[in-house]
Each structure stands twice: as C-alpha cells, then as structure tokens.
C-alpha cells in the first residue's frame, strides 16, 4: 500500500511522511495533524490525517517491492514442474504460478487501500 498526500499549493502527489495500516493507527502514532514539505513547490503546510490517501502501487512498483517473493515462487514451481513433468512443463507452470501470485498480491493490495480510504478519523476521534 502506498500512502500519498496531495499538496495544498500545487496539488502534486507526495509520499506521506507518516505511515501505518489505517488512519486510526496513524493518529495514535503521530497525532491528528502533521507537517509536510512538498517535493515540487517546497511549501510546508499542516495536513490532517484524512488528507492521506491510499493508492495502488503501479505494476512496476509492485514487482520491485516483492521481487524476492516472485523469485521464490518462480524457482520453487519451476523445480517442482521440472522434476515431475520435465523442462517445458516446468517453464509453463512456473510462469503461470508467478503471474497468479502477482494478480493475488495486486488484489490484496487494492483491498487494503479500500479499507484505509473508507475509515476516516474526522468526527470519531474527537475528545
């Protein structure tokens, strides 16, 4: 899951300086507000936790972040397929298994984003 904050000045997307699995957890860890300096216009503003939005990783980012997992899936399924069914089957099985694991990971990631975006802190954390 990637957390971004849109700059109040130039609307460019910045990586959120505060991170946790849900907005509630971010509030518990960092409080209800945080300061962020924009990467594009260098303006510093105060933002609320609800300004943070979860977005999907691009396919490239996803592979980069999980390259070890995909490599393990690839090697293990290739070895098994190769031993049991031969070289061609091993290749086909390992490619299919890797594609499936990528698709599952992407789906899982989108689910987390939905949960994050759904739970706003405004109104419920007031003391």
Give backbone dihedrals phi and psi of 6, rounded to 5 degrees, phi first. -85, 130
Decide: 118 and 90 in contact? Cβ < 8 Å.
no
Q: Is 5 in the site for Zn ion (CB under 5 A)?
A: no
**Span near Zn ion by CB under 5 A; candidates 4-12, 55-63, 104-112, 118-126:** 4-12
- Under DSSP, the state recorded for 121 is -
Interaction pattern, residues 41-60, with Zn ion; x per rule: CB under 5 A = x-------------------
Q: Is 7 in the site for Zn ion (CB under 5 A)?
A: yes
List the alpha helices (DSSP H) in 6-126.
23-30, 59-65, 67-85, 87-118
CB of 121 to Zn ion, least distance (A): 23
Structure tokens at 84: 């049991």
How far apart (Å, rounded) are the C-alpha atoms in residues 21 and 99? 26
CB of 9 to Zn ion, least distance (A): 4
Q: Is 40 in the site for Zn ion (CB under 5 A)?
A: yes
CB of 46 to Zn ion, least distance (A): 14
Decide: 88 and 17 in contact? Cβ < 8 Å.
no
List the alpha helices (DSSP H) in 31-66.
59-65
- Of 18 and 38, the one with the shorter C-beta distance to Zn ion is 38
CB of 63 to Zn ion, least distance (A): 29
> Where on the chain is the footprint of Zn ion (CB under 5 A)?
7, 9-10, 38, 40-41
């Amino acid at each position: 899951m990637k957390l971004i904050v849109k700059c109040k000045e130039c609307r460019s997307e910045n990586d959120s300086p505060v991170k946790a699995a849900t907005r509630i957890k971010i509030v518990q860890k960092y409080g209800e507000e945080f300061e962020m300096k924009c990467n594009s216009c260098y303006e510093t503003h105060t933002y609320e936790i609800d300004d943070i939005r979860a977005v999907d990783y691009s396919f490239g980012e996803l592979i980069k972040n999980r390259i070890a997992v995909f490599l393990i899936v690839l090697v293990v399924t290739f070895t098994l397929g190769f031993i049991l069914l031969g070289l061609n089957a091993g290749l086909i099985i390992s490619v299919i298994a890797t594609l499936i694991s990528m698709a599952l990971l992407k789906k899982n990631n989108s689910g987390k984003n939905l949960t994050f975006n759904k739970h706003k802190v405004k109104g419920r954390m007031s003391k």
